[in-house]
A and B are shown apart, each in its own frame.
Chain A
């Protein structure tokens, strides 16, 4: 059998993720990239439940559960303690949080950790709402999505504000390395994880991890949907190294798919009218053109 990604498995079978969980893919690939000398800190999120009940765990690396808003502070502390003990060399400290724990609740601790310049890796797996507590909207929820706190009824109260761009927030911190990755492109995700491991200093990764339960689509479509998100330019894959942009999955204009293909696959977007779909299309095109321009202006010199 052909294997295009490393053979090592640091996430065991028997974990408690839902059928077709994108976050389970994300963790599996990340650990393949970072290797066994990794220490993880996980706040309240789906991944606080997935490893299993005490005293069992599906992780073959040390894992510490931390309070919701403290992922950034906790990984800073772990890194400082390792350095004080002289054991930092060769060990990767990774904070693993959901989109709520990163974009809303944990953002000040993350900002502090990046500003202080700790040698930590922060990974946000983005399922676009507070899935663990039952699908409440977060600032990563895209425009037009149904959640239990933006219910769509006769008044059409879907989420009206767009998704927060966390990678840009990280780039504004002058972070050495920030990137986006998707579970549909594991080779790319693992390459970026290996790159983060080799960089000394704070790094940030934003992983797109579809959630069948919250997005209302059949579990077998997880990878297909994640691939479609990149093909429609809704979630472009790129990396920013010391302020230099590089798109790692280039979508040619003739191969770019329409956002409608992506929206129609999910129950959370089923009530959208033509006007709302057009505004999503315009927003995606605008963001994609902006990213291409950023790469042109602030790309690596050829």
Chain B
């Protein structure tokens, strides 16, 4: 402590405030199983987008769901919830 008398907010030490986005953490490196979406089987129900805990499913330019492999951790919820079996989980090493 500097021994300075605290009179107002500016006298307080700088508090730790987060200021950067977690997008720097590429959690895709955690993945062992990779979800692959088949556009032929996809009926655009949006279940995979809705149930992704990592927000890693986005809409591509054609309106189909696509996986953001930089952040997808490969939990497999999208493949489990897909009512049309349009998503298959493949081993990361096999690709």
- Please give the residue numbers on chain A whose beta carbons come within 8 Å of chain B beta carbons, in ascending order: 1-5, 9, 11-17, 19-22, 24-25, 28, 51-52, 54-58, 63, 186, 218-224
Contact = CB atoms under 8 A, between A and B. Distances in A.
A13 B73 CA distance: 10
Nearest to A23: B53
Q: Say what secondary structure dominates the interface of chain B.
A: loop
A58 B19 contact: no
Given A16-B25, A220-B80, A1 B64 contact: yes
Given A1-B65, A3-B46, A15-B54, A20 B76 contact: yes
A12 B22 contact: yes
Nearest to A224: B80
Contacts, number: 111
Given A14-B22, A28-B55, A223-B81, 9 more contacts: A1-B63, A4-B50, A12-B21, A14-B71, A19-B74, A52-B22, A56-B24, A58-B22, A220-B80
Interface in B10-48: 16-27, 30, 44-46
Interface residues of B, number: 39
Contacts of A16: 22, 25, 27
Contact of A219 (B56, B70, B75): B75
A214 B16 CA distance: 31
B78 to A, nearest CB: 8
Contacts of B81: 223-224
A5 B52 CA distance: 13
B18 A14 contact: no
Given A2-B46, A221-B80, A14 B26 contact: yes
Contact of A223 (B17, B24, B51, B74): B51
Nearest to B74: A19
A224 B70 CA distance: 26
Nearest to A2: B46
Contacts of A221: 80
Contacts of B17: 55
Contacts of A13: 22-23, 27, 54-56, 68, 70-71
B80 A54 contact: no
A252 B55 CA distance: 33
A11 B25 CA distance: 14
B53 A1 contact: no
A121 B51 CA distance: 24
A54 B16 contact: yes
Contact of B49 (A3, A14, A22): A3
Which one of B16, B44, B46, B50 has the highest number of Cβ atoms from chain A below 10 Å of its Cβ? B50
A57 B24 CA distance: 10
Contacts of B59: 1
A81 B12 CA distance: 18
Given A14-B21, A14-B25, A14-B26, A219 B76 contact: yes
A3 to B, nearest CB: 5
